[in-house]
Amino acid sequence: MGRTSDAREKLLAAALDLIWTSSYGGVSVDDICVRAGVNKGSFYHFFPSKSDLAVAAYEAHWQEKRPAMDAVFSSQNPPLDRLIDWCRRIQEGQTEMHAQYGFVVGCPYANVGSELATQDPKIRAKTQEMLDRGFRYIEAAIADAQRQGLIDVADATAAAKQVSSCVLGLLIQAKIENDPGLLSELEPTMMRLLGAKMVPA
Amino acid sequence: MGRTSDAREKLLAAALDLIWTSSYGGVSVDDICVRAGVNKGSFYHFFPSKSDLAVAAYEAHWQEKRPAMDAVFSSQNPPLDRLIDWCRRIQEGQTEMHAQYGFVVGCPYANVGSELATQDPKIRAKTQEMLDRGFRYIEAAIADAQRQGLIDVADATAAAKQVSSCVLGLLIQAKIENDPGLLSELEPTMMRLLGAKMVPA
DNA sequence: TCACCAGTTAACCGAACGGTCAAATAATTC
DNA sequence: GAATTATTTGACCGTTCGGTTAACTGGTGA
């Protein structure tokens, strides 16, 4: 039935890349098309609107990152190791992008979510959903750590909420100061919030 | 020397209001002019560009809020009371704006900072400066609390950095979920980070 | 082989964008 | 009251915005 194309995938990748390193409002449909090497007509063949593309791009990004997240947060791994490993990966990823683009780019979901939360209900809801997916990993890890007596928290869900907010906050701070070094505070902040029992180095 | 005018102040107020409840990219110079009841020619009589207006608007907002911050963080007040009072005010302010606009609007500085950090160096630097001003209040309060043995932290500056990041993170989270109720976690998160000694209710 | 149809192309749309300008106006100073 | 000058006015500029359209192309399935 008709011809096939990878234009859709190229548009998703271009959109993620450009919006992540700039902002939703700072990137035009034309910019995305040029980067993807696709005509605007094709853009609107695959996506009804710019915001629909953004939503699809974030969904695609998640699907790509999901296996790595599943591995990091595998229940085979000790719960605190999962969290520490995750912190390390965030720091490495941001440091790498900082080297590549000259900027700390922060969390792609939170970036657009914060920008458009009061303007585009669909994007706001999608952002919330994306962040919630990450939250569930954290929550499970913290609940496991709690069960194993590794940390000192009363309510695992509440603690997970605090932890995820702090990670978001540190990413924003690092972006605004454009300093990936701030992200070395990720792990200590998290451990402090969890009242983690100290492990001798 | 020529006539006087309050157009500048009206533009500053309109810009703050519109950008805070929407976003920098989501508000046009025309929008701001209409809200302020000022012609576009007058806009460019007072400000060389849209981004210069934004910077001036945030500076004006700070100057307006500064007396209240000085009062809250007065060294006459017990250090932890300062922080707790501040949390309460943030929560109240966001709840009020949520009732008025239908949205959790978050921190005005962090909002634009996060949106434009990778695009506009002047705004990025200004945002960093604004957040640093708030940081100094927190840092002083935490240092005082530490001296008085009210909390359990090794490095007051590092702890202040963690606290300010977490506040930022909770505000973003509340904005994305559009739920001011999340901000009730402000105080407990902060106290936990500081290892505050429990005070019997 | 050929009909079908997903995908491509590039010109085009009206609206909105940030910003400019020269002339008109009114408040202040002397 | 005249000279000065900060402010106001609203038309105007070229560009870019998100999105549309209709004709065209070529791979696929029958």
The string of pLDDT tens digits covering residues A132-164 is 999 999 999 999 999 999 999 999 999 999 999
Query: What amino acid is encoded at B28 in this protein?
Result: S
**Which whole number is the average pLDDT over A99-124?**
98
Statement to judge: residues B153 and B191 lie in one domain: yes
Q: Is residue B2 part of a domain?
A: no
The string of pLDDT tens digits covering residues A7-53 is 999 999 999 999 999 999 999 999 999 999 999 999 999 999 999 99
Could you tell me which of A154, A190, A151 has the C-alpha nearest to residue A169? Answer: A190
Residue B198: per-residue pLDDT: 65
- Return d(Cα A139, Cα A149) in angstroms, integer: 15
Nearest to B118 among A103, A131, A164 (CB): A103
Statement to judge: residues A151 and A112 lie in one domain: yes
What are the residue ranges in chain B where pLDDT is below 70? Answer: 198-201
Q: Is residue B1 part of a domain?
A: no
User: Which percentage of chain A shows pLDDT scores above 90?
Assistant: 94
Q: Rounded to a whole number, what is the distance in angstroms from the first to the last CA of chain B?
A: 62
Statement to judge: residues A130 and A34 lie in one domain: no
Task: Please tell me the distance in Å from B178's CA to the nearest CA on chain A.
Answer: 8
Statement to judge: residues B38 and B125 lie in one domain: no
Specify the number of domains making up chain B. 2
User: Which percentage of chain A shows pLDDT scores above 70?
Assistant: 98
Q: Is residue B50 part of a domain?
A: yes
Statement to judge: residues A83 and A148 lie in one domain: yes
Instruction: Give the structural domain span for A184.
Output: 73-201
Last-in-domain residue among A64, A94, A115? A64
Residue A198: per-residue pLDDT: 65
Nearest to B177 among A105, A128, A176 (CB): A128
Q: Which of B20, B112, B176, B185 to mutate to test the interface with A (most CBs of A within 10 A)?
A: B176
Statement to judge: residues B110 and B201 lie in one domain: yes
Can you give the CATH number for the domain in which A199 is found? Answer: 1.10.357.10
Statement to judge: residues A33 and A121 lie in one domain: no
> Which residues from 33-52 of B have any strand D atom under 7 Å from their CB?
38-42, 45-46
Q: Is residue B88 part of a domain?
A: yes
Q: Is residue B37 part of a domain?
A: yes
- Return d(Cα B159, Cα B119) in angstroms, integer: 30
Residue with tokens 């034309």: A30
Last-in-domain residue among A64, A87, A103? A64
Statement to judge: residues B170 and B84 lie in one domain: yes
Please report residues of A whose CB lies closer than 8 A to that of B168: 168-169, 172-173
Please report residues of A whose CB lies closer than 8 A to that of B160: none
Statement to judge: residues B56 and B82 lie in one domain: no
Query: Which CA distances in Å does B131 have to B58, B61, B136, B163, B190?
Result: 11, 13, 9, 12, 17
**Which whole number is the average pLDDT over A113-139?**
98
User: Is a pLDDT exceeding 70 seen at residue A56?
Assistant: yes
Q: Which of A21, A111, A114, A119 to mutate to test the interface with B (most CBs of B within 10 A)?
A: A114
Last-in-domain residue among A43, A64, A85? A64
Can you give the CATH number for the domain in which A47 is found? Answer: 1.10.10.60
Q: Is residue B182 part of a domain?
A: yes
Statement to judge: residues A180 and A85 lie in one domain: yes
> Between chains, do B23 and A25 touch, taking CB under 8 Å as contact?
yes
Q: Which of B172, B184, B185 to mutate to test the interface with A (most CBs of A within 10 A)?
A: B172
Statement to judge: residues B191 and B153 lie in one domain: yes
The string of pLDDT tens digits covering residues B121-147 is 999 999 999 999 999 999 999 999 999
Residue A197: per-residue pLDDT: 72
> Between chains, do A118 and B166 touch, taking CB under 8 Å as contact?
no
Q: Is residue B45 part of a domain?
A: yes
Residue A3: per-residue pLDDT: 83
Query: What's the Å distance between residue A99 CA and nucleotide D10 C1'?
Result: 48
User: Is a pLDDT exceeding 60 seen at residue A201?
Assistant: no
Please report residues of B whose CB lies closer than 8 A to that of A31: none
User: Is a pLDDT exceeding 80 seen at residue A199?
Assistant: no
Largest CA distance in chain A: 64
Query: What's the Å distance between residue B44 CA and nucleotide D1 C1'?
Result: 32
